[in-house]
Structure 1
Amino acid sequence: MNINESFGYIINSTARNIKKQLETKIKIYDITTSQWAVLKVLSEEDNLTQAEVAEKLEADRATTGAVIDKLINKKLVYRNQCENDRRANIVCISDYGQDLAEKISYEAVKCNCRALVEFNDDEIEQLFDYLQRINNNLKKEGE
């Protein structure tokens, strides 16, 4: 089998190209796609623990913590100590972070539209369904 016929290779290459497109567009905001993902999660559901953010992103806690630290330095998010658990911190998005998340979300939508330009609505719905099913299959395998 040729590498270009490998499903995993094509999916990975596609993801890399989408990420590269978005990174090019959001570079002006001095933010990475990983940082934007955390902002996006917090813009949708604020006041989460670092562990909850990591879970929603399906990322490890240490990597998520490093991204959160960078966002704190940029004044896009802040931490508060959890009232119920003194060892845990609650991560909150700042007003500036919320505004930036909205601007970058707009760029992400445009990037997705570029990637799907030759697809009709039914094909897009099917594609998302197929990708979700593949993800679910792989998650089941890892359990």
Structure 2
Amino acid sequence: MRINESFGYLINLTARNMKKVLEEEIKKYGITTSQWIVLKVLEEEDNLTQAEVAKKLSGDRATAGAVIDRLIKKGLIYRNQCENDRRANRVRISDHGRELAERICIEAVKCNEKALRGFRNEEVKQLFTYLYRINNNLDINNM
């Protein structure tokens, strides 16, 4: 098998290319794609613990914590101690963070549209179905 015939290589290349395109578009906002995705998670469901954010991103707590710390320094989110568990903190998106997430979402939609240019709606739906199935097949929690 040649490298360009490897499904894993091709899907990884596609993901990296999409990330590069989006990062180029959002660098004017002084934010990375990793930071934006945390903002987006908090925009959709605010007041989460760091562990909950990490779980929603299928990542680890340490990485999520580093991104959260950077977003706090930028004033895009803030952290409060949990009332019922003093060891845990909850993070919330600020008004400025919510506004920025909405602006960057427009750029993300453009990136998706660019990637899917020439696809019919039913092809896009089928692609999503396939990607969800692949991810479910590879989810270590389902094995």
Please tell me the TM-score bracket, short chain as reference.
over 0.9
Q: What secondary structure sits across from 2:91 in the alignment?
A: strand
Q: Supply the RMSD in Å over aligned alpha carbons.
A: 1.0
| Residue pair 2:42, 2:93 contacting (<8 A) in 1 also | yes
Deviation at 1:142, TM superposition (A): 6.8
The aligned amino acid for 2:98 is Q
| Residue pair 2:136, 2:142 contacting (<8 A) in 1 also | no
Q: Unaligned 5+ residue runs, structure 1?
A: none
Partner of 1:19: 19
2: CA distance between counterparts of 1:35 and 1:59?
13
Alignment of 1:1-143 (within 5 A): 1-140=1-140, 143=143
Identity %: 70
Deviations 1:94-129 (A, max 9, x none): 000000000000100000000001100000000000
TM-score normalised by L of structure 2: 0.98
Distance 1:34 1:122, change over 3 A: same
1: CA distance between counterparts of 2:70 and 2:87?
20
Q: What secondary structure sits across from 2:139 in the alignment?
A: helix
Following superposition, which runs of at least 4 residues in structure 1 exceed 3 angstroms of deviation? 140-143
Q: What secondary structure sits across from 1:90 in the alignment?
A: strand
2: CA distance between counterparts of 1:48 and 1:90?
5
Give the count of matched residue pairs: 143
Deviation at 1:140, TM superposition (A): 4.6
Q: Unaligned 5+ residue runs, structure 2?
A: none
1: CA distance between counterparts of 2:112 and 2:15?
11
The aligned amino acid for 1:88 is A
The aligned amino acid for 2:118 is E
